[in-house]
């Protein structure tokens, strides 16, 4: 079983919809990361969190340490949000363990 499980694997939404991507992990962690990868490979770090909730623009990330679960929410989704979203955990330092990613397609 993978240490980091993401769901769903693929997600198609209409522009304007509220989107949720889930991440569950099975190891103790010092931090959890949400990453965004566009076609071509470039990765952008969206959030790094160890507790509670963080918000940046239309993106919100939450984490429940006791339940070992995190969610990434996108409000008012837009076609430019189409990308692969990857959850990763750091048991220690930069030894990151990655989920398989969620491929999001937002249709106009």
Which one, 99 or 104, has the nearer CB to other proteins? 99
* Cβ atoms of residues 50 and 30 within 8 Å: yes
Site string for other proteins, 78-107 (x = CB under 8 A): --------x-x---xxxxxxxxxx------
11 binds other proteins (CB under 8 A): no
Which one, 40 or 57, has the nearer CB to other proteins? 40
DSSP state of 108: -
26 binds other proteins (CB under 8 A): no
What's the token pair of residue 36? Answer: 């965004």
Q: CB 38 → other proteins: shortest distance, Å?
A: 10
Q: CB 1 → other proteins: shortest distance, Å?
A: 15
Q: CB 99 → other proteins: shortest distance, Å?
A: 8
Distance separating alpha carbons of residues 101 and 35, to the nearest angstrom: 9
Helices (H), 24-76: none
* Cβ atoms of residues 22 and 6 within 8 Å: yes
N-terminal to C-terminal alpha carbon distance within the chain: 36
Which residues of this protein are in contact with other proteins, per CB under 8 A? Answer: 30-31, 33, 35, 40-45, 48, 50, 86, 88, 92-101
């Amino acid at each position: 079983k993978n240490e980091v499980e993401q769901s769903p694997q693929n997600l198609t939404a209409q522009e304007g919809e509220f989107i949720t991507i889930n991440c569950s992990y099975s190891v103790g962690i010092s931090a959890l990361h949400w990453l965004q990868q566009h076609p071509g490979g470039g990765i952008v770090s969206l959030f790094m969190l160890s507790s509670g909730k963080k918000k940046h623009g239309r993106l919100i990330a939450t984490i429940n340490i006791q339940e070992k679960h995190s969610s990434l929410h996108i409000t008012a989704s837009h076609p430019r949000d189409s990308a692969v979203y990857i959850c990763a955990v750091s048991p220690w330092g930069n030894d990151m363990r990655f989920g398989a990613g969620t491929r999001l397609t937002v249709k106009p």
